[in-house]
Structure 1
Amino acid sequence: MNHQDWEMLAALYSTENITKAAEQLFLSQPTLTSRMQKLEEHYGIKLIIRKRRGVTFTPEGEQLAQHAQNMLREQRKIEEKIHNMKNQVTGTLRVGVSNFFALNKMPKLLRLFKKEYPNVECQMVTGWSSEMHRLILNNEVHISFIKGDYPWKEKKELLYEEEVCIASPWDFKWEDLPRMPRIDYHTDEHMKSMVDEWWYHNYSQSPNITIQVNQVETCKEMIINGLGYAIIANLVVRPNSDLFIKPIYHPSGEPIIRKTWMYYHEDALQMNIVRAFIRFIQTLDVKSL
C-alpha cells in the first residue's frame, strides 16, 4: 500500500460512507470505488461490505484500515520532526476547537498568529467539547480548545471563565421561569447536566421548552427575536444590550461558571510550531477578542 491507499482506507473507515470519504479526499465516487476494488484484488480479500446507507468493514478490512491509520500517524510524526529540525516555526498545526470558540475566537487568533508566523498552516477540527477531548487524548491534534472540565493529566491553560445566565428578551421574575417559553439547544453533557441540576434544585416542574435548535448561535437569534429565554453562557449573549441577563447560582451562593481551556501534551512542546502557538496564546487576553 502507498500513502494514497492509507488516506483512502482511513477516510472510509472514519466516515463509513463512500460519498463522504470521496468528498473528504477530493475524489470522485467512481475513482474511490475503483481504487478500493484494486486494493481488494491485490490482497485477494473482501475489505468492505456495501450497505444501503454506507459501508462496513470486514475483519480483514478493519485490520488494514487500522494499519493505514497508524501509518498516517507515523507519517505525520516524521514530517513534524523534520520541520522541527529546521529550527523554524513552519509546518502544520493540528487543532481541535469547540463550536463556540471556533466561530467567535479562532478566526481572530489564527489571523494574528499567521501575521507573526506566515509559514504555518493550520488543520482545524470543530465539534462538541467532548469530541475535542477525545481527539487530544488520542494525539490526533496538537492542541484542543475545550469548554468545561474534562479528565486531563497533561498540560492545560485556563483561557477564561464566563457565567452561565438566563438571557431573556423581556424582564422577568425568577418565579415566572417555569411558565415562560424556553429555547433549548444541543450542547455537551457537562453543560446540560449543570443546567438541569440548577433547574431541578430551584423548580419542581419541568421547563416550558417551546423551541429546540441545534446550535447556540441559532438559540441566541431566537432570543433576540423575542421567542423565549434560554440558559446560556454569558459570552454568547453579552454583546446584546437589549436582552435581560441574570446569572444563575449554586446553592452555596457562588455563580455557576463555565471555563474554557487549552489542552495539550507536554511532549508536544518539543515542536517549534506548537511551542510558538502556545506562547502566542499566553500573551493574549482571549476573552476580550
Structure 2
Amino acid sequence: MRFDDYELLVTLDKEKTLRQAAEALYISQPAVSQRLKTIENYWGVQIFIRTKKELIKTSAGEKIIEHAKQIVETELLLKENIHINKHKVEGKLKIGVASLLGYMIMPTLLEKFLKRYPNVDIQLEIGSSSKIIDNVDRYHLAIIRGNKILNLENRLLFTDEHYLVAPKNKSLENEPLIEFQADPWYINQLKQFFEKSFNKPYKPQLYVDQVTTCRELLLKGVGMTVLPTIITKTMDLSKFHTEKVEIDHVPLTRSTYVAYDHQMAELPQVEKFLKLLDEEYK
C-alpha cells in the first residue's frame, strides 16, 4: 500500500463519512469509495461497515487503522525532522590525505571544522599520494601533492618551493644524504640537483618513509636533505644551512590539491569543508 492509502484510512476514521473524507482530501466521493474498496481487497477484509449515518470500523478494521495511524504519524514526524534539520551540517565526511599533509595541516583544519560542525563524523585515511589517488572513490575529498587527479575537480591549495637543509658549520661534502619516499619524477629532480651541485653521483645513505622523519633527523644534527616549505617553516632555519633547490634555474616546486567529484560538493559537510579550505588557503 502507498502512504496516501494509509492517509485515506486515517481520514475516513476521523471524518466518519465518505463525503467528509473526500472534502478533507480534496478528491471526489466516488474516488474515495473506489480507493476504499481497493484497500479492503488488498487486506481481504471489510474495514468499515457503511451505514447511512456514518462509517463503523470492523474488528479487523480497528487493527488496520491503528497500523495506518502509526505509519502516517511516523512519516509525518520524519518529514518534520528532515525539514528542521535540512540546513544542519551532519553525516560522515571521508577524507583521503597524503601523509605529509595528514601530519602538517589536518590537525589544525579538523580542529576548526569540528568546532563549527560537531555533528559531522570524520573518517580520515592517510597514505602516499599515489595510494590516495588509487583509492579516490572511497573518499568525499582527496588532498594530495603533485599532479591533479583526472576526471575530478581539482582546487590548488598552495605550492611549495624546496630547500636543501643541512646542519650549520658542517661540510656538506661529508654529510650523509637522506632520501624520503616520493614518486620517481620527484626523486629524479633531486638527483639532477645533487649531481650538479656536488659534482658526484646521487647516493643517499639514509632512506626514510616520511619527510617528517627527515626533519627530525636534521633537528638531531644528522645528515642533509631537501625539504618543502611546508616543513621548513616549522623549523628555526637560523640553525641550518639552507639553499633553494633549482633545476636549470627553475625552482623545484610541489603543488597541493584538493580533489573531488563535483556532485560531492552538494553534500553540506563537503561544501563546508571546501569553504574552510578556501578560508585557509586563499
| Residue in structure 1 matched with residue 145 of structure 2 by the alignment | 147
CA contact 1:168–1:229 (8 Å) conserved in 2: yes
CA contact 1:95–1:142 (8 Å) conserved in 2: yes
| Residue in structure 2 matched with residue 266 of structure 1 by the alignment | 262
The TM-score normalised by the length of structure 2 is 0.63
**Identical columns (%):** 24
Paired residues, what number? 198
- Could you report, residue by residue, the CA deviation over 1:103-142 in whole angstroms, capped at 9, with x for unpaired residues? 1110110110111111101101100011111222xx2101
| Residue in structure 1 matched with residue 247 of structure 2 by the alignment | 250
Which residue of 156, 159, 163 corresponds with 1:158? 156
How far off its partner does 1:217 sit? 1.7
| Residue in structure 2 matched with residue 50 of structure 1 by the alignment | none
Report whether the alignment pairs 1:121 with 2:121: yes
How far off its partner does 1:273 sit? 1.4
The TM-score normalised by the length of structure 1 is 0.62
CA contact 1:133–1:150 (8 Å) conserved in 2: no
Gaps spanning 5+ residues in structure 1: where? 1-81
Report whether the alignment pairs 1:278 with 2:246: no
Cα pair distance change 1:90/1:261, threshold 3 Å: same
How far off its partner does 1:235 sit? 2.1
In 1, the alpha carbon distance for the partners of 2:273 and 2:152 equals: 17
CA contact 1:178–1:205 (8 Å) conserved in 2: no
1:94-243 to 2 correspondence within 5 Å?
Answer: 94-136=94-136, 139-171=137-169, 179-200=174-195, 205-241=200-236, 242-243=239-240
How far off its partner does 1:144 sit? 0.7
State the one-letter code of the partner of 1:227: V
State the one-letter code of the partner of 1:116: R
- Could you report, residue by residue, the CA deviation over 1:16-70 in whole angstroms, capped at 9, with x for unpaired residues? xxxxxxxxxxxxxxxxxxxxxxxxxxxxxxxxxxxxxxxxxxxxxxxxxxxxxxx
- Could you report, residue by residue, the CA deviation over 1:237-256 in whole angstroms, capped at 9, with x for unpaired residues? 333221222111121x2211
In 2, the alpha carbon distance for the partners of 1:166 and 1:279 equals: 34
Cα pair distance change 1:147/1:231, threshold 3 Å: same
In 2, the alpha carbon distance for the partners of 1:198 and 1:147 equals: 20
In 2, the alpha carbon distance for the partners of 1:118 and 1:191 equals: 39
Q: Name the Cα RMSD after superposition.
A: 2.4
In 2, the alpha carbon distance for the partners of 1:149 and 1:197 equals: 20
Q: 1:92 aligns to what SS in structure 2?
A: strand
In 1, the alpha carbon distance for the partners of 2:188 and 2:91 equals: 39
Give structure 1 regions of 4+ aligned residues with deviation exceeding 4 angstroms.
176-179, 200-204
Q: 1:101 aligns to what SS in structure 2?
A: helix
In 2, the alpha carbon distance for the partners of 1:222 and 1:141 equals: 33
In 2, the alpha carbon distance for the partners of 1:201 and 1:120 equals: 50
